Amino acid sequence: MRPARQIYQQIRPKVRAAIWLAITGALVCAVGCTGNVKPNSSATVQTPGLPTGQTTFAISGTVAPVLSATTTLSLSGASTATTTASNAGSYTFSGLSAGTYAVTPSSSGFGFNPTTQVATISTSDVTGVNFTSKAQTGPTFTLSGTISPASAGSGAAVVLSGPVGATATANSSGTYSFPGLSTGTYSVTPSKSGFTFSPTAQTATVTSANLTGVNFTGTAASQQTHNVSLNWTASSSTVAGYNVYRSTVSGSGYVKINTSLINALTFSDDSVSSGTTYFYVATSVDSGGDESSDSNQAVAVIP
């Protein structure tokens, strides 16, 4: 590794004065080093603890006006179930774990607005998942499609707007559907954190049959770029400048990353990759080109 530097260190010891390397901010570093990876996009999200003794939850709501016919409500998502609305139009799904669910009502001869709703349980019961019923004046149909690849489609929220509104969650294969629709023109829009979709929305017209193939393609959003800002103390000797070396192995394998001598006491490494840990050292160089020994090692963990 860098034999010329080893020879110079023996012949020209006058530039051996130590320099101290740091990384501006707060991350994992060598002893005495403080620093920050910019932008600081990593975060730890803590979910509040469950109320004492509560390990399962409920989703509830109403169907109004109350129907003379039986109204069946179907639950899908983290688990599946069916129930019927009471004589007062209320319903409840109990014994549920935390997760994302979809509730869909159905009753012969009636339509519902919205046709389906998403309910997400985190740390408490979900109430107010309500539906409005209306007697159908004609047949109803289903609008469906697929979001691909499955990594983009699974769990994506799909919003329907038009004669009725609804929200559905695509299954693990990226497939979604909206049942119980009357004829008309609808708009379908998918969304999922960390992804963009093409097209961003589609207009779909339901006429006299089920409408399939309202499909979307998802793409992972570009990862946020990062850089590492380094700084160091000045050498106690007279020097011409400084070099910065980087490795992905602690204590060895350092490669110089500056193209020319650095005259300042700071340097920004803009060529880092997410999910990688980097190890840095700095050296000072005198007017004769002789280089000092390495500074302390600083460590940057890129989120």
pLDDT in tens, 8-24: 323 233 333 455 666 55
Neighbour count for residue 205 (Cβ, 10 Å) = 11
Q: Name the least confident of 90-94, 273-277, 296-300.
A: 273-277
Predicted pLDDT of residue 131: 92
The predicted model gives 258-280 an average pLDDT of 90
Predicted pLDDT of residue 68: 77
Query: The pTM is what?
Result: 0.47
pLDDT in tens, 142-194: 999 999 999 999 988 888 888 877 888 899 999 999 988 888 999 999 988 88
The answer to whether residue 46 scores a pLDDT higher than 60 is no
Alpha-carbon distance of 122 to 214, in angstroms, equals: 31
Topology alike, domains 56-137 and 139-222: yes
The predicted model gives 69-85 an average pLDDT of 86
Alpha-carbon distance of 224 to 108, in angstroms, equals: 50
* pLDDT band with cut points at 50, 70 and 90 for residue 1: very low
> CATH: 1.20.1250.20, 3.40.50.720, 2.60.40.10, 3.30.70.940. Which one for 3-41+224-301?
2.60.40.10
Instruction: Determine the Cα angle at 283 with ends 281 and 287, to 5°.
Output: 165
Q: What are the phi and psi torsion angles at 7 (to 5°)?
A: -65, -45
The answer to whether residue 119 scores a pLDDT higher than 70 is yes
CATH classification code of 139-222: 2.60.40.10
Domain 56-137 CATH superfamily: Immunoglobulins (2.60.40.10)
Q: Looking at this protein, which amino acid is placed at residue 34?
A: T
Predicted pLDDT of residue 245: 95
- Ordered by start, the domain boundaries in the chain are 3-41+224-301, 56-137, 139-222
The DSSP secondary structure of the chain, one letter per residue, reads: --HHHHHHHHH-GGG-----EEESBSSS-STT--B-EES-------PPPPPTT---EEEEEEEESPPSS--EEEEEESS-EEEE--TTSEEEEEEEPSEEEEEEEEBTTEEEESS-EEEEESSS-B----EEEEE-SS--EEEEEEEESHHHHTT-EEEEESSS-EEEE--TTSEEEEEEEPSEEEEEEEE-TTEEEESS-EEEEE-SS-B----EEEEEPPPPP-EEEEEEPPPSS--SEEEEEEESBTTB--EE--SS-B-SSEEEE----TT-EEEEEEEEE-TTS-B------EEEE--
